[in-house]
């Protein structure tokens, strides 16, 4: 994603989360998180790490002609 080294902890957290959501051979291609929670996993919450994101700025915190969002980087 081209991020600074300060974000390695966030990257590692994201990797662990994705691994927990992925099928695993030792448990017959079941997902560890699904076995732990006994619920089927959904992938609709997954997003691309390091992708462009926009955070909404509430009306109270912006000036008259300011933009309604700030450009950010999605970390997980």
Q: Which two tokens stand for residue 5?
A: 């080294």
Rounded CA separation 76/6 (Å): 15
Q: Are 43 and 18 in contact (CB under 8 A)?
A: no
Residue in 72, 19, 14 with CA at minimum distance from that of residue 48? 14
Residue 58's pLDDT is what? Answer: 92
For each of the chain's 76 residues, which pLDDT tens digit applies? Answer: 677 888 888 888 888 888 877 787 888 777 777 787 877 777 787 788 888 889 999 999 988 888 899 998 888 7
Q: What's the predicted TM-score (pTM) here?
A: 0.59
Residue 56's pLDDT is what? Answer: 93
Q: Which two tokens stand for residue 72?
A: 């950010």
């Amino acid at each position: 994603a081209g991020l600074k080294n300060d974000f390695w902890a966030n990257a590692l957290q994201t990797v662990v989360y994705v691994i927990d959501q992925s099928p695993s051979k030792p448990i017959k291609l079941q997902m560890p998180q699904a076995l732990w929670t006994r619920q089927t996993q959904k992938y609709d919450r997954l997003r691309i790490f390091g992708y462009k994101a926009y955070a909404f700025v509430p009306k109270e915190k912006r000036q008259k002609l300011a933009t309604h969002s700030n450009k950010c980087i999605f970390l997980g």
